[in-house]
Amino acid sequence: MMAPLGKMLILLGIVIILIGLGLLFAQKIPYIGRLPGDIYVKKDNFTFYFPLGTCILISVLLSIIFWLFRK
């Protein structure tokens, strides 16, 4: 009964490690955060940034990865 919980915890740990590594190396990945479709508005005392293109790219990549693991 505890085996599925153990597997879920191991999987969660691996996911957290991968997210941490992604955050460490995010600065070295070119164009992340500067893709076409990213919204950036800068006024005098106001800056708005919404990485729409980056979010779509990450969503597509994660969908492909999860689709591959499901098979």
Q: What is the pLDDT of residues 26-36, one digit of tens each?
A: 777 776 777 88
H or E, element range at 3: helix 3-25
Q: Where are the domains of the chain?
A: 1-29, 31-71
> Could you give the C-alpha distances from 32 to 18, 21, 52, in angstroms and in order?
17, 15, 11
Tokens of 55: 């979010």
Q: What is the pLDDT of residues 41-69, one digit of tens each?
A: 999 999 999 889 888 988 998 899 888 87
Closest-CA residue to 34 (of 53, 18, 60): 53
